[in-house]
């Protein structure tokens, strides 16, 4: 239906956009093996030296470990809260039901500096009352808050696709509430739960915008990168760490996308189409 | 049958049975247990934080003692209203957010059109997947990628040099524009792609049967139908640009709302109350934006 000219133009435009998305990432991969400290293009000699240098940095080990611990804790909280909320929204109708997903996406949808400054002000003001200080606990609380939405989206999308007849059949066959949950509902939810957890993990592992305001003196992997990104001398090591972080966080995300069979952003189109907004 | 097969845990079973029967009869209790924790978490942690931010914007910093004074005053808001620098920075940031949004929408259109209308289902899925992976890639890695790309003598210089073009992008606002357009692009593509996929094929056929050429069909049929998707997409690029404080200072030197708030909140200024008051600007802009988006039915396309 489109003219030949239009078809060619669309193809070229689509190709340009894909190139724009991937060329910078490919550049990071190439430079990680660059022997020279300078960033001149094209790199002349390649080496694995910088991987070795990065491997021996003890600050990096601590930072990596902190990031993993924070991401695991935030994921567990998000998994619990996101699943509970999705069951509530799916099963009951109540006043303000449409607003639930809106509230959950707010920490991600609002400007980053606002969320960061708000959470840091809250930690500061609660220091005297409940003794919460900047550090790992504050990071976990903050991360969990915006990880809830990805778990919620995954689980509610699955709940909507699951026919109610399965639960009814289980009940008819004599399964009580807990049995039905354990033998029917949970197995059915399994991949959605795993995918939600992996996405939440990836989100937390990579987070810097809010983390920078909550970390105090604690160092996470993104904070380490932030601290060294400005130093031209450290560029080769930052580049190696960047490549490792890229690969490490892409693995869980890749598995999550395969498990759900849908490519999803932070607000999964599938879940949001029926759900989002108080409109 | 169920009861005989679970005989070993029979001692516990009556209780869980009774509990689930109780929950089944009392849906309110069930709702409290499922929705309660999440809602309290969001209210106690997130909404409370926003309220604290709002309250602290009415406090002031004593310039002599460098202590925050917990007395109500509109001083910070007066400072912002009377300081032309805040107006200029706000205007610049909004213009940048608009430029980033337009760039991303323009980049998203051909790809979305191709994926939704021209590609085979296999290619379409592969493309969708290829768009989503960079969305989840580490934010700082993406910033670092652009620092590398934009460095003097780096890949972009070398590439444009082939055409004899040597724009000094360096750390100018164009560097910030390129970097932010790059980072938010996947967020923009997804809603627009979804919108293109919802355009019924038959409408385009009808339009061309009635004699419209492709340009006219695009303007009169496709554009109005994908517009909610475009507005939904722009919520992300706009909000994320307004609130960005890291990329803007890592690749550029331009003062924007995000890094201005960041500088005020920490470092030598350490004027948290003024930073909190200034943070109300992006918050209010986004609130208005969301209300308009809602009126345009963009939430259904999010």
pLDDT at A47: 81
CB within 8 Å: A109 and B236: yes
Q: What is the ipTM of this complex?
A: 0.88
Paired sense of beta strands B68-69 and B60-61, if any = antiparallel
B20, closest residue in chain A (CA to CA): A177
Confirm whether B103 is domain-assigned.
Answer: yes
In sequence order, which residues have a C-beta less than 8 Å from that of residue A243 and are 6 or more positions away?
A: A28, A29, A32
Least confident of A158-167, B50-59, B218-227: A158-167
Q: Under the phi-then-psi rule, with left for phi > 0, alpha for psi from -120 to 50, and beta for the rest, what region is B72?
A: beta
CB within 8 Å: B136 and A206: yes
Least confident of A168-177, A218-227, B16-25, B149-158: B16-25
Average pLDDT over residues B236-257: 93
A6 and A124 fall within a common domain: no
The b-or-e profile of B94-116 (16+ CB within 10 A means b, else e) is: bebbebbbebbbebbbbbbbbbb
Here the CATH number for the domain that contains residue B102 is 1.10.3720.10
A100, closest residue in chain B (CA to CA): B39
Q: pTM score, two decimals? A: 0.88
A103, closest residue in chain B (CA to CA): B42
β-sheet bridge partners, residue B69: B60
A25 and A131 fall within a common domain: no
Q: Is the Cβ of B93 closer than 8 Å to some Cβ of chain A?
A: no
**Contacts with A121 from chain B: Cβ below 8 Å:** 49, 52-53, 56, 272, 276
A121 and A214 fall within a common domain: yes
Domain range holding A6? 1-31
Among B38, B49, B153, select the one facing A118 at the smallest CB separation.
B49
A115 and A21 fall within a common domain: no
Reported as a single tens digit per residue, the pLDDT across B89-120 is 999 999 999 999 999 999 999 999 999 988 99
Least confident of A120-134, B5-19, B149-163: B5-19
Position B17 pLDDT exceeds 90: no
Best of A78, A106, A117, A275 to disrupt the B interface (most B CBs within 10 Å) is A117
Confirm whether B235 is domain-assigned.
Answer: yes
The DSSP secondary structure of A85-133, one letter per residue, reads HHHHHHH---TTTTHHHHHHHHHHHS-HHHHHHHHHHHHHHHHHHH---
Q: Is the Cβ of B212 closer than 8 Å to some Cβ of chain A?
A: no
B201, closest residue in chain A (CA to CA): A1
Helix (H, G, I), strand (E, B) or coil at B139: helix
CB within 8 Å: A100 and B35: yes
Confirm whether A116 is domain-assigned.
Answer: yes
Q: Is the Cβ of B136 closer than 8 Å to some Cβ of chain A?
A: yes
Most confident of B71-75, B173-177, B267-271: B173-177
A78, closest residue in chain B (CA to CA): B38
A234 and A122 fall within a common domain: yes
Q: Is the Cβ of B33 closer than 8 Å to some Cβ of chain A?
A: yes
Mean of per-residue pLDDT scores for chain B: 87
Among A24, A87, A179, select the one facing B145 at the smallest CB separation.
A24
The b-or-e profile of B71-84 (16+ CB within 10 A means b, else e) is: eeeebbeebbeeee
DSSP 8-state symbol, A277: S
Domain range holding B193? 85-301
CB within 8 Å: B6 and A179: yes
Instruction: Say if residue A209 is preceded by a cis peptide, omega within 30 of 0.
Output: no
Helix (H, G, I), strand (E, B) or coil at A34: strand
Position B203 pLDDT exceeds 80: yes
pLDDT at A279: 29
pLDDT at B256: 95
Q: How many domains does chain B have?
A: 1
Tell me the pLDDT band of B15, cut-offs 50, 70 and 90.
Answer: confident
Q: How many domains does chain A have?
A: 2
Confirm whether A191 is domain-assigned.
Answer: yes
A24 and A69 fall within a common domain: no
Reported as a single tens digit per residue, the pLDDT across A70-86 is 999 999 999 999 999 99
Confirm whether B106 is domain-assigned.
Answer: yes
Position A151 pLDDT exceeds 50: yes
A123 and A6 fall within a common domain: no
pLDDT at B270: 83
From CA A178, how far away is CA A149, in angstroms rounded? 26
Confirm whether A59 is domain-assigned.
Answer: no
Tell me the pLDDT band of A4, cut-offs 50, 70 and 90.
Answer: confident
Position B22 pLDDT exceeds 80: no
Dmax (CA) of chain B: 83
Q: Which helix (H) or strand (E) holds B241?
A: helix B223-243
Average pLDDT over residues A176-195: 85
Confirm whether B3 is domain-assigned.
Answer: no
From CA B299, how far away is CA B302, in angstroms rounded? 5
Q: How many CB pairs under 8 A join A and B?
A: 322
Helix (H, G, I), strand (E, B) or coil at B61: strand
pLDDT at B178: 95
Here the CATH number for the domain that contains residue A194 is 1.10.3720.10
Which token pair is A89?
């929204």
């Amino acid at each position: 239906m489109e003219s030949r000219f239009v078809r060619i133009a669309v193809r070229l435009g689509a190709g340009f956009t894909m190139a724009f998305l991937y060329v910078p990432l490919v550049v990071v991969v190439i430079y990680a093996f660059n022997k020279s400290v300078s960033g001149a293009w094209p790199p002349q000699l390649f080496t694995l030296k910088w991987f070795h240098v990065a491997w021996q940095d003890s600050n990096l080990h601590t930072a990596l470990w902190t990031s993993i611990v924070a991401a695991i804790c935030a994921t567990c909280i998000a998994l619990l809260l996101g699943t509970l909320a999705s069951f509530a929204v799916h099963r009951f109708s109540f006043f303000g039901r449409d607003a639930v997903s809106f509230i959950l996406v707010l920490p991600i949808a609002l400007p980053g500096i606002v969320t960061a400054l708000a959470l840091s002000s809250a930690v500061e003001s609660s220091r005297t009352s409940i003794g919460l200080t900047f550090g790992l606990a504050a990071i976990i609380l903050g991360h969990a808050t915006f990880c809830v939405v990805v778990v919620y989206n995954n689980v509610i999308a699955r709940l909507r696709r699951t026919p109610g007849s399965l639960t009814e059949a289980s009940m008819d066959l004599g399964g009580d509430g807990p049995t039905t949950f354990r033998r029917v509902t949970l197995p059915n939810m399994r991949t959605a739960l795993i995918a939600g957890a992996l996405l939440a993990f990836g989100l937390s592992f990579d987070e810097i915008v809010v983390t920078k305001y909550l970390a105090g003196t604690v160092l996470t992997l993104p904070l380490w990168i932030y601290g060294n990104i400005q130093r031209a001398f450290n560029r080769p090591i930052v580049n190696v760490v960047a490549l490792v972080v890229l690969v490490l966080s892409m693995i869980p995300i890749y598995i999550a996308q395969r498990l759900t069979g849908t490519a999803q952003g932070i607000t999964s189109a599938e879940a949001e189409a029926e759900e989002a907004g108080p409109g | 049958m169920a009861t005989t097969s679970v005989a070993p845990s029979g001692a516990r079973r009556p209780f869980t049975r009774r509990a689930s029967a109780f929950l089944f009869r009392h849906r309110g209790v069930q709702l409290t247990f499922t929705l309660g924790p999440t809602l309290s978490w969001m209210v106690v942690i997130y909404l409370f934080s926003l309220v604290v931010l709002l309250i602290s914007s009415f406090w002031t910093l004593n310039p002599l003692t460098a202590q925050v004074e917990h007395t109500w005053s509109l001083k910070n808001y007066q400072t912002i209203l009377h300081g032309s620098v805040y107006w200029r920075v706000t205007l610049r940031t909004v213009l940048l957010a608009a430029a980033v949004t337009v760039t991303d929408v323009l980049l998203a259109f051909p790809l979305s059109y191709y994926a939704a209308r021209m590609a085979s289902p296999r290619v379409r899925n592969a493309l969708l997947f290829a768009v989503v992976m960079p969305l989840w890639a580490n934010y700082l890695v993406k910033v670092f990628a652009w620092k590398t790309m934009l460095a003097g003598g780096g890949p972009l210089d070398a590439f444009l040099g082939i055409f004899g073009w040597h724009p000094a992008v360096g750390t100018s606002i164009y560097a910030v524009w390129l970097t932010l357009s790059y980072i938010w692009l996947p967020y923009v593509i997804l809603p627009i792609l979804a919108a293109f996929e919802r355009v019924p094929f038959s409408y385009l056929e009808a339009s061309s049967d009635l004699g419209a050429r492709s340009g006219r069909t695009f303007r009169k049929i496709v554009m109005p139908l994908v517009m909610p998707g475009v507005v939904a997409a722009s919520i992300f690029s706009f909000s994320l640009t307004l609130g960005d404080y890291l990329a803007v200072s890592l690749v550029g030197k331009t003062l924007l709302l995000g890094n201005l708030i960041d500088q005020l909140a920490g470092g030598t200024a350490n004027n948290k109350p003024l930073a909190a008051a200034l943070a109300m600007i992006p918050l209010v802009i986004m609130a208005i934006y969301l209300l308009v988006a809602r009126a345009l039915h963009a939430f259904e396309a999010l």
